[in-house]
Amino acid sequence: MAKVKDPSGEDVVIIDIEERSLKVKLTEAETAAYARESALLVGQIESAEIEEAGRKKQIKEGIDGQRSHLRVLAEKVRSGEEHRQVRCDIIHDYPRVERRVVRQDTAATVESRALRADELQRTLPGVGA
């Protein structure tokens, strides 16, 4: 216990001391320090958000690529077909005056049309190429 005078000058007795969280006016130095820390945090948050956006974009592009591949696979399964390089014979059928493109794997005709005049001209043995 201690006897002291309060701000009005009256005698009072302090019986105990405790700490409490109360508002305190900031000094100019404290305000400046908090402003610097705030600016630093704003910069860090902006950098993190930019990095996050980049990662999200990269992830989205990956997912989009997978979806595209899945659509291609689904179409192949649905149709039971896919395009591939297939060796074909080009045949000039002079008796029928026809040019045909025929698949070597199935012997199916892929394309057929009349021979052009220049295609009807055969080379003579021993002349030309």
Tell me the per-residue pLDDT of 36-85, one tens digit each, with 9 for 90 and over: 999 999 999 999 999 999 999 999 999 999 999 999 999 999 999 999 99
- Give the pTM: 0.51
Q: Domain ranges in the chain?
A: 27-79, 88-120
Give, as one character, the DSSP assignment of residue 122. P
Tell me the per-residue pLDDT of 35-46, one tens digit each, with 9 for 90 and over: 999 999 999 999
Instruction: Say which residues have a Cβ less than 8 Å from residue 88's Cβ, sequence separation at least 6.
Output: 101, 102, 103, 104, 110
Would you state the torsion angle of the CA atoms of residues 40, 42, 46, 51, taken in this order, to the nearest 10 degrees? Answer: 50
Contact between 93 and 99 under an 8 Å Cβ cutoff? The reply is yes
Give, as one character, the DSSP assignment of residue 26. P
Token couple for 94: 């002079």
